[in-house]
Structure 1
């Protein structure tokens, strides 16, 4: 199974969206980033407990189909979605230790991955998900934080770990500012990331149909994040 999973990712351009702090909008960044990768991207939801990606795209009650080639992703626009939600549907999952690692490897090993870009949405924290991904493939890390002092301190642990492993991460500061009469206001303090994303209250209206969103957050991702990630 390990070798099969490695084979599925061999030659792919892999991006891991991660954070050691919860609630920073990592899944939203994963979704919008994937939607911006042309011509296509496979988005794999490795947050196997909450499966936020399925909720963002409104597919939490859709089942994944299985063909002779493997698990068939759900295609929405240019994104091929793979999530445990396509198997358990809109139910919680509790997996201890080794079972968690095995499920992640199996999800990759038995899925059809045809696109050049593969984006992983990882759960918060420094745990099995990071270790499993390191075991399977090389990847470009994107560390997501907010300007909050506690978030920055916690996410710095992840960045330090990645640096020690020889992986320089792009730091995305989500909910960094809002535009007011042509000026940027920083309500939660300022932190200079590689990419700073704005606050867009309208984004909430697109939960369940994130693929239809083309507001300020998506525009900054297109303009500033994508050029740093296309490799």
Structure 2
């Protein structure tokens, strides 16, 4: 296993260019390759009490060595602020999330924080987002970076560019971009995106998880083959692009 390029206490916020782009699978893949890791899901929507959510899915895929924590869940599959308001349950705040991250970072080399939907989805009526949670965490003195999970095909360059611009505007550093679900038979636009996504993100391409990765019986081996050395794997962006030229 390749040594990752992170320092003890690193916090990596995992956000997507939208919903259903593979954030949970990517979070699990990174966690599977980290020896000392905690995964925090601040807000989970569309899940009833007692049902397994994204954090549990990460644990199922990555293994029992991962510390899992969820701060709030709301039953309706809506944006966190809307779901909290409709349920009458307390909304999340950036400050509370940052405190939870800091507590996990005290005991783990890496903390992964998986957002809901895209970067600027609202978590409360004050309009706080995952970006605000990352900023609040950095204000506590922790090393904070963002991992951007993108779709593979046509349209992803625009959403990736918009998300990257929002991160830069807020002074947040993007570690890289990972394609959350790489199709078995990529079309021309998808293949071209291998070269164009790093430009759109302003950060390197750090992996491409194959479509259906969560169903793999050998998930850790798959993660190592699908993620770059910066995330603990052995994937090479140049070689992958050449295979799909």
Q: Please report the TM-score for the alignment, with normalisation by the length of structure 2.
A: 0.62
Q: CA RMSD in A?
A: 3.5
Aligned residue for 1:154, secondary structure, equals: helix
Number of residue pairs aligned between Structure 1 and Structure 2:
187
Aligned residue for 1:122, secondary structure, equals: strand
| Change in CA separation of 1:55 and 1:84 when aligned onto 2, cut-off 3 Å | farther
**Superposed counterparts of 1:1-231, under 5 Å:** 12-37=9-34, 39-50=35-46, 51-58=53-60, 76-84=63-71, 92=75, 94-96=83-85, 99-101=91-93, 104-105=97-98, 107-108=100-101, 113-125=106-118, 126-127=120-121, 128-137=129-138, 138-169=143-174, 170-178=176-184, 185-187=185-187, 189-190=190-191, 191-192=193-194, 193=197, 194-201=205-212, 203-206=213-216, 213-221=219-227, 223=229, 225-226=231-232
- How far apart in 2 are the matches of 1:109 and 1:140? 14
| Change in CA separation of 1:49 and 1:82 when aligned onto 2, cut-off 3 Å | same
* CA displacement, residues 120-155 of structure 1 (integer Å, 9 cap, x when unaligned): 111122132221221122411111111223333223
- In structure 1, stretches of 5+ residues that fail to align are 1-10, 60-74, 179-184
* CA displacement, residues 180-207 of structure 1 (integer Å, 9 cap, x when unaligned): xxxxx52362212413414244x3435x
- How far apart in 2 are the matches of 1:34 and 1:162? 23
- How far apart in 1 are the matches of 2:135 and 2:105? 20
Query: For the Cα contact (< 8 Å) 1:200–1:216, is it kept in 2?
Result: no
- How far apart in 2 are the matches of 1:30 and 1:176? 16
- How far apart in 2 are the matches of 1:17 and 1:106? 17
* Mean CA deviation greater in 152-161 or 111-120: 111-120
- How far apart in 2 are the matches of 1:198 and 1:28? 8
| Change in CA separation of 1:104 and 1:151 when aligned onto 2, cut-off 3 Å | same
| Change in CA separation of 1:54 and 1:46 when aligned onto 2, cut-off 3 Å | same
- In structure 2, stretches of 5+ residues that fail to align are 1-7, 47-52, 77-82, 122-128, 198-204, 235-245
Aligned residue for 1:100, secondary structure, equals: coil
